[in-house]
Amino acid sequence: MFTGGVSDPTAPAEAPVAGPVPVAGPVPVAGPVPVAGPVPVAGPVPVAGSAAAAHWRGWAEIRADLRSSVLLFSALGLIGLPAGVLWWLLAPRLDFRITAAGPVPVVAVPPAELLIADDGVFAVGALLIGLLCGAAAWRLRRRRGVATLVTLALGTLAGAALAWQVGEWLGAGPTRAELTHVGGRVTTALSLGSLPALALAPFGALLAYVGIAAFSHRDDLGRTAGPAPVSSPSSE
């Protein structure tokens, strides 16, 4: 007797169950998309008061300050005119009375002391005028820089030289006719015995200018920028 089970041909066959579906590993990422670097700029536009404006612009700055430098040099040189008159008025000189025996000093003052007094008055005056000129040049806010500094030194030196010549011209010594006129009175000539005293004017000017600049809290020394130059369109 057949005792096995009879399969129903009409029943659907069971689908074989596959094992767990293998899962692929993490999808590889190509990596960060490379980004182009920053677009190169021709350079930061210097703004007054910024660090970029503190850099010296070289000959461009000197050319921009050329006209003001010429005017400053002329003004400093002309200061020598009143400075020479002031030296002539303040410097002590010795008076002599002409006698038959020769010139006799009215007040006995050693010539060496008189010479030192003339040089001393000139040196003190040159130093003070230089200090005032340096402080006044600092007020030229738009022209603070190398050109003004160099012009300040040269201009005060020229002014000191002019003051020296004006003072000696006004305080010229007696003529031969005056020295032979008995009973007349003559005054010794005004002269500068120490020419290095001329350098005290530019020294004082630079001392004042650089000294004030050292206490400035701004990198650009507070120099105000002029109008921006208009650039011509580039030809294509």
Residue 10 buriedness (CB in 10 A; 0-12 / 13-18 / 19+): exposed
Q: 5 lies in a domain?
A: no
Q: How confident is the prediction along the chain (236 residues), in pLDDT tens digits per residue?
A: 445 555 555 555 555 555 555 555 555 555 555 555 555 555 555 544 444 444 555 666 667 667 878 898 999 999 999 999 999 999 888 777 777 777 776 776 666 677 688 899 999 999 999 999 999 988 876 667 778 889 999 999 999 999 999 999 998 877 777 777 777 777 788 889 889 999 999 999 999 988 888 877 665 555 555 544 444 444 44
- What string of H, E and C letters represents the secondary structure of the chain? CCCCCCCCCCCCCCCCCCCCCCCCCCCCCCCCCCCCCCCCCCCCCCCCCCCHHHCCCCHHHHHHCHHHHHHHHHHHHHCHHHHHHHHHHHCCCCEEEEECCEEEECCCCCHHHHHHHHHHHHHHHHHHHHHHHHHHHCCCHHHCCHHHHHHHHHHHHHHHHHHHHHHHHHCCCCCHHHHCCCCCEEECCCCCCCHHHHHHHHHHHHHHHHHHHHCCCCCCCCCCCCCCCCCCCCCC
81 assigned to some structural domain: yes
Asked if residue 120 is part of any domain, the answer here is: yes
Indicate whether 57 belongs to any domain. no
Give me 228's structure tokens. 């921006």
Q: Would 147 be classed as within a structural domain?
A: yes
The answer to whether 199 touches 154, Cβ cutoff 8 Å, is no
Could you tell me if residue 191 is inside a domain?
yes
**Within-domain flag for 137:** yes
* Tens digits of residue pLDDT in 168-205: 999 887 777 777 777 777 778 888 988 999 999 999 99
For the chain, the average pLDDT equals 74
**Do the domain assignments include residue 26?**
no
Q: Give the number of domains in the chain.
A: 1
Domain residues for the domain of 101 are: 68-214
